[in-house]
Amino acid sequence: MPKLQAPVLKNEYYEVTFEDLTHEGAGVAKVEGFPIFVENALPDERGKIKVIKVKKGFAFGRLIELYETSKNRIEAPCPIYSQCGGCQLQHFSYEGQLNFKKKQVEQVLARIGKLDLNNVKVHPTLGMNDPWNYRNKAQVPIGEREGGLVAGFYQKRSHDIIDMERCLIQQAENDDVVQAVKKICEQYGIRAYNEEKHKGWLRHIMVRYGLVTKEMMVVFVTKTNDFQHKHEIISQITELFPQVKSIVQNINNKRTNVIFGDETKVLWGEEYIYDKIGDVKFAISARSFYQVNPEQTKVLYDKALEYAGLTGEESVIDAYCGIGTISLFLAQKAKKVFGVEVVPEAIEDAKRNAELNGITNAEFAVGEAEAVIPEWNKQGNKADVIVVDPPRKGCDETLLKTILDMKPHRVVYVSCNPGTLARDLNVLEQGGYETIEVQPVDMFPHTTHVECVAHLSLV
Ligand code: SAH
């Protein structure tokens, strides 16, 4: 593509109409076809912008004034929305967000996946009835201000911690526990970790909440493995919050942005809390991956199960299975499920979760999906249905080739990144599969993330 000579200049003002939103939630306006990205602007709005940075094929601008506002613009309910950065779409009506997510999926499937939208049905995004207080996990950095502790979030583009009593997308119980733990620690003179000096003790507080069981876990992430006033602090927490079933310490002595260190010890109560998705019960430890929006996870997995079309006779592979969440969901309707996952601890959890539910027709293997599944293929261990749920980078090419060679009747692709989903669907389509439908599911309301499940069938 020929490089566009920028028709706009830095520090100049322009009057523009916004046409679209980027995947990051910024408004897109065009001046002589040249795209300018502007935060806090919505499609169909008109306004004045100042160009703040000009790059080769695009520019960034700042919104100065809106002349016409979108019918989808609303007042962001959160008072710290503009400082935080955790949400990007609170100024957009929920209906507008759901439509935007569907359109984004369609655009990417057509542009990257080269799919014909006349043949592939992209359903309206499945949203939440009440799209607030949905996160079951709070991970809060701790800092100090005038001798006291602050527990909140990093200000946008900085590492200054801003205190936050309420996060509107967080389970209120999690916020209550974080605030109480902060105050209790303050009473005992606990010092927060200071990133620059690499001194102090308390780095993060993490709280997890089981939506169905109401059980809670509190994790202290600390620089060193000591714990002053441990007994007093624990007894205050457990007295105030009887639903706390587990208190854990994780030690992270490194100069790093990574939250957790390698050492984890139970300070009080259980090593796990439990939660349920549908009829399946899961043990969740401090370090296990567990979906953060359990209500929508059920919606997503129900769709995956529907697309898998199981009658009880099928052999199913669940690639990238994590702690076996999808595998155990499928096992209730399949003859046999084989889960594969690269993190050994996750597979330990998956086996424990199978046992916990008395599920005996699920087997789990540790390894890369692209190494283990070709091996199964060679041994003649074929599957009728393959479910994949890869990380953001999508499926490995070897895995896609193996799927084409194994020829399962159906492939169910669960994806947290429409771009790599589209790329991989293109490969599967060229190899003889047809994408029948794609269902976007809103797992993360008020953020730009969108989760999809795609249903493919062998032609
Ligand atoms: N299906 C699970 C987890 C999905 S997240 C759930 O819904 O809870 C994606 C998972 O893929 C992570 O657990 C990650 O550890 C795993 N993973 C990443 N690369 C992998 C690979 N090459 N082979 C197998 N698993 C992999």
List ligand 1's pocket residues with C-beta within 6 A: 289, 291, 320-322, 325-326, 340-343, 346, 368-370, 389-391, 396
319 CA → ligand 1 middle, Å: 7
Q: Which atom of ligand 1 is nearest the CA belonging to 327?
A: 1
Q: Which atom of ligand 1 is nearest the CA belonging to 301?
A: 7
Using DSSP, state whether 303 is helix, strand or coil.
helix
CA-wise closest residue to 387 among 415, 353, 360: 415
Q: Which of 84, 87, 185, 416 is catalytic?
A: 416
- Domains of the chain in start order, with CATH, are 13-68 (2.40.50.140), 99-129+293-458 (3.40.50.150), 137-277 (2.40.50.1070)
Using DSSP, state whether 159 is helix, strand or coil.
coil
Q: What is the pTM of this model?
A: 0.93
DSSP E strands, 69-213 = 121-122, 137-145, 148-154, 161-163, 202-209
Give the rounded distance of the alpha carbon of 348 from its chain centre: 22
Consult the annotation and say whether 320 binds a ligand.
yes
Query: How high is the pLDDT of residue 3?
Result: 55
Consult the annotation and say whether 88 binds a ligand.
no
As a whole number of angstroms, the distance between CA 261 and CA 205 comes to 13
pLDDT tens digits, the chain, 459 residues: what are they?
555 578 999 999 999 999 999 988 999 999 999 999 999 999 999 999 999 999 999 999 999 999 999 999 999 999 999 888 889 999 999 999 999 999 999 999 999 999 999 999 999 999 999 999 999 999 999 999 887 999 998 887 778 888 899 999 999 999 999 999 999 999 999 999 999 999 999 999 999 999 999 999 999 999 999 999 999 999 999 999 999 999 999 999 999 999 999 999 999 999 999 999 999 999 999 988 899 999 999 999 999 999 999 999 999 999 999 999 999 999 999 999 999 999 998 999 999 999 999 999 999 999 999 999 999 999 998 899 999 999 999 999 999 999 999 999 999 999 999 999 999 999 999 999 999 999 999 999 999 999 999 999 999
Look at strands 59-68 and 34-38 and give their pairing.
parallel
Please say if 416 is a catalytic residue: yes
CA-wise closest residue to 273 among 285, 262, 264, 261: 285
CA-wise closest residue to 162 among 149, 172, 181: 149
